[in-house]
Chains A and B, each alone.
Chain A
Amino acid sequence: DTGVSQNPRHKITKRGQNVTFRCDPISEHNRLYWYRQTLGQGPEFLTYFQNEAQLEKSRLLSDRFSAERPKGSFSTLEIQRTEQGDSAMYLCASSLARLAGGQETQYFGPGTRLLVL
């Protein structure tokens, strides 16, 4: 499968625990995005990377959330001291941004569904 992959697909945790999700983008895609989607809503932007550099974080993103993309390939999203309000689908997307600009299509992964009890 050459698409975006995410692991785990489902995660159940207790409030206060830390969780980490992984995203593997499409090979050679230089941009990687994290979104959060709650039931009945559209995806909400969290953060994004160009290669290994984290270029933007949502102002709504709590400092309990941290993301990394150490080698410019896969990325991890960690949530510390989880709260019930963190329950959501966490989506990853990747794209290829070209120097000349032009269309940059974001391809989404299947998501990690988090349930905080």
Chain B
Amino acid sequence: GENVEQHPSTLSVQEGDSAVIKCTYSDSASNYFPWYKQELGKRPQLIIDIRSNVGEKKDQRIAVTLNKTAKHFSLHITETQPEDSAVYFCAARRAVYNQGGKLIFGQGTELSVKP
């Protein structure tokens, strides 16, 4: 069945260090992989995404890499800041036109950036 595994469940880093979160998906037909950031008591917000025809995507301090063969993708945050502290969720989606766009989420990673 469809499943996304996310590791680690918690991650603590010093301000300025890098953070890496990894996800593995089971559905080989998945072709879209977003990452959401959820601060305590707030809604999930998209921070970056990648499609299966791309191996890497960067947006300032955030980057995502995708290995389709191994069916895993990773989030990289460089020069972490205290405001990066939140729960991060990876997700995968099989997007076939008119046949659904549901997201399958990982379990989440609680990132803590210590000043």
Contacts and interface: CB of A to CB of B under 8 A. Distances in A.
Contacts of B43: 4, 91, 108-111
Contacts of B4: 42
Contact of A95 (B42, B91, B101): B101
A104 interface: yes
Nearest to A44: B105
A50 to B, nearest CB: 7
A42 B91 contact: yes
Contact of B89 (A42, A95, A97, A104): A42
Given A109-B43, A110-B43, A101 B105 contact: no
Interface in B72-115: 89, 91, 95, 97-108
B102 A105 contact: no
Interface residues of A, number: 28
A48 B101 contact: yes
Given A103-B32, A103-B51, A40 B108 contact: yes
Contacts of B98: 50
A106 B103 CA distance: 9
Contact of A56 (B34, B51, B91, B100): B100
Contacts of B44: 43, 91, 108
A105 B46 CA distance: 8
A45 B108 contact: no
9 contacts: A4-B43, A42-B91, A45-B102, A45-B104, A56-B100, A97-B97, A108-B45, A109-B43, A110-B42
Interface of B: 4, 6, 32, 34, 36, 42-46, 49, 51, 89, 91, 95, 97-108
